[in-house]
Amino acid sequence: MTTTAQQTSPPAAPRPTPAIIPLPPATARAATGIGALLTLASTFLAWTWTAEFPGDLTVNGYPGGLQVLTLIGALLTLVFTLSAFGVRGLGWLTPGGKNSAILLFALGTFATTWYAIIAIAVNLGGLANLEPGGFIAAVAALLTLVAALGLPSDVPLDGDIETVTPWKRFTQAFKAPTPEPAAPLPSWAEILIIAVSFGLGLFIFTYGIDTEYAELFIGFMLMVCFGATAVSRAGLNRRLASYTATHKNVTVTAAFVAAFAFPFTQTNDAYATIGANILIFATVALGLNVVVGLAGLLDLGYVAFLGVGAYTAALVSGSSYSTIGIHLPFWAAVLAGAAASLIFGIVIGAPTLRLHGDYLAIVTLGFGEIFRIAMQNMDGTSGPNITRGPNGIPDIPDLEIFGFNLGEPHTVLGVELGKFSNYYLLMLFFTIIVVTVFRRSDQSRIGRAWVAIREDETAARAMGINAFRLKLLAFALGATLAGMAGTVQAHVTTTVTPTQFKFVEAVPPNSAFLLAAVILGGMGTVSGPLIGASLLYLIPAKLQFMSDYQLLLFGVALVLLMRFRPEGLIADRRKQLEFHDTGQLDTPKGDIGLSKAGV
């Protein structure tokens, strides 16, 4: 007698508990809105009892310092939450990711608020220095963030809800969903949106420069970073990009009008100094972008061309320490500096541009160091007495253009502009020239040939492109633009020394920071290097207490950038396709074909 073995299946594994408990969208949004409202209300209460903490957070009914940033973050979180609820008139704020924008604004508010609370505790000696308003702000910001994490993702989650952790939900917020198509607007409305956007950008930039203490600037940077990402994930940046692409000339005009208005917003010439130096740094970075971003030539000694222009201007601008005793007018000094840099660019580029990749980088790095050492040795002892060696050439007189002395205060449109405001406006004029040259070059046949050489020089040569001649042209053009900016830098700093032109130095501009500005902002774009240079100059200028760790933090930032944003902050279409998934189907793998079809 045979018996059939009883097949017993193992008991089913218990269903895992979700890492994030999903909430109904309406419930999560309501909780987020209530938390944002409580956070906003907490800014009208005192956060600490003593005015020793910068910003005076002891006043009830009047936010100040870091409280203002928390108020702005909570208000934006609330407004975007109402937009997600479908409140009439606010739907245009979220053409893309509604919930991602809310989460990122909530995260920015949380980071700024908790940074302020921790800073109070550290600076004043413990949490006992917090008033009830500070505790309410910390708890309300945390509740807002937790509620925002319960919102559904705008993009498909990688995995089942049971496997979604808070970290995975957080990273999903940084993935851009496809924005909804924009409703057609009249041309005047699109132009108005462009103008308002640049006006808002001017306000944010001015607020950042005018921050009076490091704690406020750090809070500002936290809010701006998360806020900018939130606006991007909401789809507003793509919509604005479509308007700017339609009205390119209006966009360029609005950008320079906003930049022109900057010195008129300043009451302290020290902040105008930062603006002038940022423009110098940004203009030189844009010139380097011609060499690196368009032609793909890795130049690690580019700051030497800035030095050639600066030393030329110092020698011919009438300094009492000039060894040649020539005093040329401003326009002649600019042409002399640009011409000297052009000559150096051709002399250095002609024998070296036949090299490629790392070999070219090493040669250009050597040229930068040779230039600095040569300027240091031309002191009359180790070499001819031309640059006064390590002492440099000081006492460079202020420029005088058409009887207008840039070193003296002048009243323009009822606003008194100091020395550095005058130089800022002068440097803005040169920035316009550099941007015009870059745009014309990029859109020309030569610019397309540069891009072809950058992508594949062998293929470009096969198509009949004279690669050496075009690379030399890019090298010479970049050197000329750097030399032109160097003539203005010499008059802004009033002293030119060899130590200003090292490869790596704690204070920009130098070759490493210039190259990083191009990579950070986005190679091959106009606005990318300008934004990258602004960040790399502004952050060290405002956080001087971290100067001992500046290069370490700089390296960490570059590593993070290469990991999470290799195409830069402002990337062109080609770089986005190169570094990110395009959404196209992969080529089928395996032996799928005629044999499988039975043919």
CATH number at residue 471: 1.10.3470
**Is the predicted pLDDT of residue 591 greater than 50, yes or no?**
no
Distance separating alpha carbons of residues 353 and 426, to the nearest angstrom: 34
Is residue 282 included in any domain, yes or no?
yes
324 — pLDDT class (breaks 50, 70, 90): confident
Spatial contact of 292 and 516, defined as CB atoms under 8 Å apart: no
pLDDT at 567 over 50: yes
| Cis peptide, bond prior to residue 509, ω within 30 of zero | yes
For residues 103 and 48, state if they share a domain.
yes
- Residue 112 placed within a domain: yes
Other Cβ atoms within 10 Å of 599 Cβ, number: 6
Looking at residue 385, its amino acid is: N
Model confidence at 113, pLDDT cuts 50, 70, 90, reads very high
Task: Determine contact, residues 216/65, Cβ cutoff 8 Å.
Answer: yes
Pick from 231, 266, 523, 586: which is nearest to 418 by CA? 266
| Average pLDDT for the chain | 83
Comparison of pLDDT for 521 and 158, the residue scoring more: 521
Single-letter residue type at 404: F
Tell me if 574 is assigned to some domain.
Answer: no
33, 167: one domain: yes
Candidate from 125-129, 227-231, 318-322, 593-597 with smallest mean pLDDT: 593-597
Per-residue confidence (pLDDT) for residue 574, from 0 to 100? 65
Are the CB atoms for 318 and 327 separated by under 8 Å? yes
Answer yes or no: is 99 within a domain: yes
Same-domain pairing of 203 and 273 = no
Measured CA to CA, the distance from residue 364 to residue 361 in angstroms comes to 5
Write the DSSP assignment of 509-528 as a string of letters. Answer: -SHHHHHHHHHHH-TT-SHH
Task: Assign 105 a pLDDT band (cuts: 50, 70, 90).
Answer: very high
Give the domain-ending residue among 508, 539, 570: 539
- Tokens found for residue 281: 């740094």
pLDDT digits over 228-269, tens only?
988 988 888 888 888 888 888 899 899 999 999 998 888 777
**Does 548 map to a domain?**
no
| SS3 category, 474 | helix
Domain that includes residue 380, residue range: 269-539
**Which pLDDT score, from 0 to 100, does residue 119 have?**
93
Structure tokens at 246: 């339609």
The answer on 212 and 142 residing in a single domain is yes
Same domain, 169 and 56: yes
* pLDDT at 394 exceeding the cut of 50: yes
Cβ–Cβ < 8 Å for 476, 349: yes
- Which two three-digit tokens encode residue 500? 């200003």
- Whether 72 and 132 map to the same domain: the answer is yes
Radius of gyration of the chain measured on its C-alpha atoms:
28
455 and 513 together in one domain: yes
> Residue 367: pLDDT above 80?
yes
pLDDT, position 186: 87
- Say if CB 295 and CB 447 are below 8 A apart: no
pLDDT at position 594 is: 37
Q: Residues 278, 222: one domain?
A: no
What is the C-alpha separation between 456 and 443, in angstroms, rounded? 19
Question: Helix axis angle, 187-209 relative to 269-289, nearest 10°?
Answer: 120
Residue 21 in this model has a pLDDT that exceeds 80 = no
* Average pLDDT of the segment spanning 47-63: 90
In which band, very low, low, confident or very high, does the pLDDT at 442 lie, cut at 50, 70 and 90? confident
Is the same domain home to 171 and 53? yes
Q: Would you say residue 264 lies in a domain? A: no
Please check the confidence at residue 12 and state whether its pLDDT lies above 50.
Answer: no
Q: What pLDDT digit, counting tens, does each position of 497-540 carry?
A: 888 888 776 566 778 888 888 888 888 888 888 888 888 888 88
What is the pLDDT at residue 108? 94
DSSP code for 293: I
Whether 512 maps to a domain, the answer reads yes
Do 168 and 313 lie in one domain? The reply is no
| 578 within domain boundaries | no
Cα–Cα distance for residue pair 56/67, rounded to 1 Å: 10
Specify whether 232 is located in the same domain as 304: no
232 and 275 in a single domain? The answer is no
Residue type, 447: G
- Residue 470, classed as helix, strand or coil, is helix
Angle at 46 between CA 45 and CA 50, to 5 degrees: 175
Give me the number of domains the chain comprises. 2
Q: How far apart are CA 344 and CA 340, in angstroms?
A: 6
Domain final residue, candidates 222, 238, 254: 238
pLDDT higher than 60, residue 386:
yes
Across the range 545-570, mean pLDDT stands at: 78
Stronger pLDDT, 184 or 292, i.e. the higher one = 292
Strands in 451-508 per DSSP E: none
